[in-house]
Structure 1
Amino acid sequence: MPVQIPSKYNQKFLQKPLLTCVLSLGIGFMCLGPSGTALAQQSIQASPESATQARDILRDLIAAKSIHANGSTRSAQMIADRLIAGSYSHDEVQVLAPKEYPTKGNVVVRMRGKRDAGTQEKPVLYIGHLDVVDAKREDWNFDPFTLTEKDGWLYGRGTIDMLGQAAAYVTTMLRLKKEGFIPQRDIILALTADEEAEGNANGVAWLLKEHKALIDASLVINPDAGEAAIKNGRKLYLTAQTSEKVFLTFGLEVTDKGGHSSRPTAHNPIDRLAKGLHKLSGFNFPLHLTDTVKLYFAGRSNLESGQKKADMLAVSLAKPDQAAVRRLSQEVETNIMLRTTCTTTEISGGHAENALPQRARATVQCRVIPGESQAQVEAQLRKVLQDDSIKISVITAAKPTPESPPSPAIFNAVASVAKRMWPEVIVLPNMSAGASDSVFTRNAGLPTYGIDAMFDDLDDSRAHGRDERISVKGFNEEIEFVYRLVKAIDKLPSK
């Protein structure tokens, strides 16, 4: 039985812009050569020179401790110095920061493409962030801001999110320059500030506002929005992310006149708020399947068997089976792909041990499916809470973001690289549950895709957590993947 793909993308996924890479029921995106035989695996380790160079860059980036309080200017300047030492001109490398936030530095490097074509095609832009979340030494088994190798792992804050990827991209830009590579069109790498902190100096947003011409592009690749998954030691898939859920946060509050704790009433703000939050905890928002999510489940089913495989195929159809939806809703990994979610993340209330509370507050954090509005989510919350005494306010407003259309050309380029490196891995379209800087480029009208091959364990993801790490082997493979991906993307037509 063939996989049913949303009709407006169905024929496009059967085209052959580079090589035959189709969404197959048996294996996901399968890439075949001209003779129809499966592509042979090639060597996937970075050269010793590239591996050493990338590790040195990663070491220095981790040591820079680019947390929100310190900023990223030191890291940006260090990268700029390496690029200029690697034969990039001062005109091709710039370190920029807002005047009011001088520590929030961004580095932008441009590799010039061919100039003899009649019309110059717009560049490809690669984006990533230099800042990391803070980490306390007492929480870790290693110094979080010193790159440490042990038992085949590289430990340090940012190894997986996303200084490791930044090091791989800088290494690729240096390698291409050393090789004398001239791309079809300009290649831009922008490594930026303030992605993790949600502060006032987000690098991508600031560059688009103040220096749009410097990073204007026809296509954007954001490795921070990509996902590559391992489970039980087995590489499963990597994604071409086309969209992400919208970040939206509400404040809930109940107030009362209070009084002596010996005279309780039915208007206790903590009790009323708790009842509302209990209702919310048991509520599922309505099913909302985007085209990307349907394609994701069609491909993802190839890694499963039995009922789960059947359920994933069932929800990829034009009319999803409701029993399948209910079963997939029981698991976090699949539930978050099916609908908007809202969950309580903070709560406070009361002011004294022997007094009735006068106030109770809660923070409710939502991740909204693209296409749903802030007003719709708020209306749904009011309906679920069923208590007009619970006041709802907006803490962080939604920034609606369009979906970048699932692109057969992009998927083919990614699959052609991935399949040569890891024949067993499938490539999936994806909608991220988390947020990234892609929200800014998509809202600026730049088609953006999250692509990365820094394989992370689905059962032991340590991004933002204790003892963040990446395997030495995985890091070396990422270096080679990035190099090959940049060259594969360069071959794509601009439209």
Structure 2
Amino acid sequence: MKVRWYAGAALAAVLSTAALGAAAAPVTDADRAMARQMLEEAIATPTAKGRGQVPTLIDNYSKRLREAGFTADEIMTVPVEIEGEKTAGLVVRYAGRNAKAKPIAFLGHMDVVDALKENWSTDPYVPTEKDGYIYGRGSTDNKAGVTALVASFIRLKRAGFVPERDLLLAFSGDEESGMMTTRALTKHPLVSRAEFALNSDAGSGQIGADGKYRFNIQAAEKTYANFAIAAKNPGGHSSAPMADNAIYDLARGLTKLEALRFPVEFNEITRIMVADMAKEKGGELGTALTTLMANPNDAAARAVAEKYPHQANILWTTCVATMLQAGNAPNALPQNATATVNCRIFPGTTVEAVRATIAKTLGNDKLTVSLVGEGVASPVSPVNPALFARLQKAMDATYPGVELKPSMSSGGTDGREFRSAGIPTYGAGALALGADDSRAHGTDERVPIAAYLKQLDYWDFLLRDLGSRK
């Protein structure tokens, strides 16, 4: 028997509450048609930075919400101006019986990374059905998530469902380019009271080559930070090379950076992840992971783990050079040379500590290391057995037999800002993607239609279940 996140008397309470969600009327073809139309409308609204279309998408969602019975004062726009562009976040209050109870926030982002039409097989902002998919920018990241949530709020409102406490939609408008709207949302008087948040942007799952579904509960993510390593000197004429050369100084520094290894670390979430991964993968990787759990300083085990970067990146902070700029003329010695270094920092490690480690590793006073923009540290959301049990029941109702486990992601989402604001945040959702469907930010982004619509069953169950708890 598999171990679940609940036991004993807690199980009975969970099952009792979950039954409220299970008793709901099934999702109809009309519901699915509405949700699909809403997704296509969202994709056709180009909400990339610089296009000024996030408010348009908010207007589209708001119109449908009002038609379903939400009042104007329950639909709140959180305006933010960024570099002269007006964008916004969206808060929708599904009013509960007890206004004093802490609400639950449901997250997602309405903006997208822009796309070049000439690189796509379809127009990225014209939703196109092909082979059981809808192609379009944002189809998976994250319009499938936010639209399914809006559609679920509409469906529940029309059905006359009244939750015990407030349920909130809290959608950001610039997650892909700065998260200023996210920060504004965390300060909203309703959202800031949330007991916890569930993030649709961190709730997708995968269909493995073995046909099995795998979903996790994202409870942590690495801090995202960029650093500039810069060399500078007077330069001179290229006909008289000198030992003091900004490009060479930088190159020698980057070679040292390449060899930098941050220590193996574990937290409450990653220890569970690594134990599961060791069991699933087996072989040399499984043995190495098991060894590192017992002794994080085992050099031989680390060397094996490093051969599997897509799995091992949860074990340590990573820093890698991603961009270079140098020189100003082909016949002049370089006066400046700069490398951009992207770091994904293990929770609990400060951005300044990483900057200082890089500077120490370079060991050259001619090289400066400075933070580009800002790096926002994000704490780990604690394991929450009662909540995880409810998420598991919703998954059981949608994809029976899929067991959820907490996870940490190496990428960044709105969750980092909510966690930083003191609101525990967890990935939740039921969007199952195949191996060739992970195209967020890339060309020909697409979402499986059946998987997108399956989310309606998941959210209906979960919203009723969580909303019915006093």
Taking the aligned partners of 1:298 and 1:376, their CA distance within structure 2 comes to 28
- 1:70 counterpart = 2:41: no
The code of the aligned residue for 2:189 comes to K
Kindly state the Cα deviation for residue 483 of structure 1 after the two structures are TM-superposed. Answer: 2.0
Q: Partner residue of 2:181?
A: 203
Taking the aligned partners of 1:318 and 1:229, their CA distance within structure 2 comes to 31
8 Å contact kept, 1:124–1:219: yes
- Segment of structure 1 superposing worse, 344-353 or 376-385: 376-385
Match for 1:269 among 242, 246, 256? Answer: 246
Kindly state the Cα deviation for residue 240 of structure 1 after the two structures are TM-superposed. Answer: 1.0
Q: Partner residue of 2:430?
A: 453
The code of the aligned residue for 1:107 comes to L
Q: Partner residue of 2:75?
A: 93
**Aligned pairs (5 A) from 1:436-451:** 436-451=413-428
8 Å contact kept, 2:68–2:157: yes
8 Å contact kept, 1:294–1:317: no
Query: 1:385-418 deviations in whole A, cap 9, x for unaligned?
Result: 2222111111123222221101112221122222
Query: 1:332-383 deviations in whole A, cap 9, x for unaligned?
Result: 2222100001111110101111111111011111111111112221221123
- 1:142 counterpart = 2:119: no
The code of the aligned residue for 1:440 comes to E
Match for 1:184 among 164, 173, 179? Answer: 164
8 Å contact kept, 1:294–1:315: no
Kindly state the Cα deviation for residue 139 of structure 1 after the two structures are TM-superposed. Answer: 0.7
Q: Partner residue of 1:38?
A: none
Taking the aligned partners of 2:297 and 2:105, their CA distance within structure 1 comes to 37
Taking the aligned partners of 1:301 and 1:446, their CA distance within structure 2 comes to 31
Taking the aligned partners of 2:148 and 2:459, their CA distance within structure 1 comes to 7
Match for 1:133 among 107, 110, 113? Answer: 113
Secondary structure of 2:146's partner?
helix
The code of the aligned residue for 2:186 comes to L
Kindly state the Cα deviation for residue 245 of structure 1 after the two structures are TM-superposed. Answer: 0.7
Kindly state the Cα deviation for residue 261 of structure 1 after the two structures are TM-superposed. Answer: 1.7
Kindly state the Cα deviation for residue 77 of structure 1 after the two structures are TM-superposed. Answer: 0.9
TM-score by length of 2: 0.90
**Aligned pairs (5 A) from 1:23-422:** 47-71=28-52, 72-98=54-80, 103-115=86-98, 120-198=100-178, 202-209=180-187, 211-213=188-190, 216-232=193-209, 234-317=211-294, 323-422=300-399
Taking the aligned partners of 2:81 and 2:334, their CA distance within structure 1 comes to 45
- Which structure 2 segments of 5+ residues have no match? 17-21
Taking the aligned partners of 1:140 and 1:179, their CA distance within structure 2 comes to 40
Compared with structure 1, are the counterparts of its residues 459 and 343 closer, same or farther at alpha carbon in structure 2 (3 Å cutoff)?
farther
Query: 1:142-183 deviations in whole A, cap 9, x for unaligned?
Result: 010011110111110001100011110011101111111111
- Which structure 1 segments of 5+ residues have no match? 4-9, 22-32, 35-40
Secondary structure of 1:212's partner?
coil
8 Å contact kept, 2:44–2:125: yes
The code of the aligned residue for 1:91 comes to D
Q: Partner residue of 2:19?
A: none
Q: Identity across aligned pairs (percent)?
A: 32
Kindly state the Cα deviation for residue 302 of structure 1 after the two structures are TM-superposed. Answer: 4.7
Kindly state the Cα deviation for residue 481 of structure 1 after the two structures are TM-superposed. Answer: 1.7
TM-score by length of 1: 0.86
The code of the aligned residue for 1:195 comes to E
8 Å contact kept, 2:260–2:361: yes
8 Å contact kept, 2:206–2:432: yes
Kindly state the Cα deviation for residue 141 of structure 1 after the two structures are TM-superposed. Answer: 0.3
The code of the aligned residue for 1:411 comes to F
Aligned-residue RMSD, C-alpha? 2.9
Secondary structure of 1:95's partner?
strand
Secondary structure of 1:103's partner?
strand
The code of the aligned residue for 1:259 comes to G
Q: Partner residue of 1:37?
A: none
Secondary structure of 2:439's partner?
coil
Compared with structure 1, are the counterparts of its residues 60 and 459 closer, same or farther at alpha carbon in structure 2 (3 Å cutoff)?
closer
Compared with structure 1, are the counterparts of its residues 263 and 194 closer, same or farther at alpha carbon in structure 2 (3 Å cutoff)?
same
Kindly state the Cα deviation for residue 62 of structure 1 after the two structures are TM-superposed. Answer: 1.0
- 1:430 counterpart = 2:393: no
The code of the aligned residue for 1:114 comes to R
Query: 1:82-102 deviations in whole A, cap 9, x for unaligned?
Result: 000111122222233137867
Taking the aligned partners of 1:490 and 1:409, their CA distance within structure 2 comes to 14
